[in-house]
Amino acid sequence: MLYPISPPIHTVTLAFTGASGMPYGMRLLECLLAAGKTVWLLYSPAAQVVAKQEMDFTLPSNAGQCAALLQARFQAAPAQLRVFGKDEWFAPPASGSNPADAMVICPASMGVVAAIAAGTSDHLIERAADVCLKERRPLILVPRETPLSAIHLENMLKLARLGACILPPAPGFYQHPQSVADMVDFVVARILDQLHIEHSLLRKWGE
């Protein structure tokens, strides 16, 4: 069953996991904040490794330090960008009584996808995704790079049937990208489209 999005989206839970694709997640964070949305950021220890490897960017292990760093980087107010550790079970996205309007896992590792599909909820990212599914809030998964095994595909199919949006980071070339940044923006634009959030990253088809 697919659950329709009821715009407008005000608060987004954004999760970084240990899959390739951190530039997509960081650019999405930047765009969500620029659009005036409130972001609750979650990240795994493996995401810290990926951020350093792919972007030479250090995500502090301490959630408060990470929040201060990203608030300064993106000129966001403390109330607009909050960061929670993986074991903060009293964080708002951990409960259906106070869920975000939508959740995006970008990038989404196949381990996290499997855990969500199985409903294990061992840490806050998995729990927040579980809450989105049970509360019928939009859940967007941006999976790791290719190839994908039958296990990966079966887990994503299961989640798609439960209402999650599976959004592979596969940029189109009809916009004639001139740089890696253009291809990153293509994927981020597609995520924002799913959230019904206006952007100017790409020309709309036919315009």
**Which residue, 190, 173, 202, 180, is CA-closest to 104?**
190
pLDDT at 200: 93
C-alpha distances out from residue 87 to 63, 74, 161, 166, 197, Å: 11, 25, 28, 26, 30
Residue 187: pLDDT over 90: yes
Q: Does the annotation place 136 within a ligand binding site?
A: no
Q: What is the C-alpha end-to-end distance of the chain, expressed in Å? A: 33
Tokens encoding 113: 């996808």
* 6 inside domain: no
List the one residue out of 31, 11, 116, 30 whose CA is nearest residue 71. Answer: 30
Residue 201 forms part of a structural domain: no
Is position 18 annotated in a ligand binding site? yes
Known binder of ligand: residue 95? no
Helix (H) or strand (E) holding 195: none
The Cα–Cα gap between 121 and 116 comes to 7
> How far is Cα 128 from Cα 116, in angstroms, rounded to an integer?
9
Residue 163 in marked binding region: no
Residues of the chain with pLDDT > 70: what percent? 97
Q: What pTM was computed for the model?
A: 0.95
Instruction: Report yes or no on 55 lying in a domain.
Output: yes
Higher pLDDT, 5 or 195: 195
Per-residue confidence band for 4, with pLDDT thresholds at 50, 70 and 90 = low
Q: Is residue 155 in some structural domain? A: yes
Instruction: Dump pLDDT digits (tens) for 141-158.
Output: 999 999 999 999 999 999
Instruction: Let me know if residue 20 belongs to a domain.
Output: yes
Assign 76 a pLDDT band (cuts: 50, 70, 90): very high
For residue 49 the two structure tokens come to: 């490794």
* Residue at 140 is within a domain: yes
d(CA 64, CA 60): 9
Contact in structure between 93 and 40 (CB atoms under 8 Å) = yes
**20 known member of a binding site:** yes
Q: Residue 118 belongs to what domain range?
A: 11-194
Mean pLDDT over 79-100 rounds to: 95
Whether 204 maps to a domain, the answer reads no
Q: What is the CATH number of the domain that holds 166?
A: 3.40.50.1950
Number of domains in the chain: 1
C-alpha 156/C-alpha 27 separation (Å) is 24
- Stretch 61-76: mean pLDDT, rounded? 98
Mean pLDDT of 120-138: 96
Is residue 167 included in any domain, yes or no?
yes
3-state secondary structure of 202: coil
Helix then strand then coil, in percent of the chain rounded to 5, is 40, 15, 45
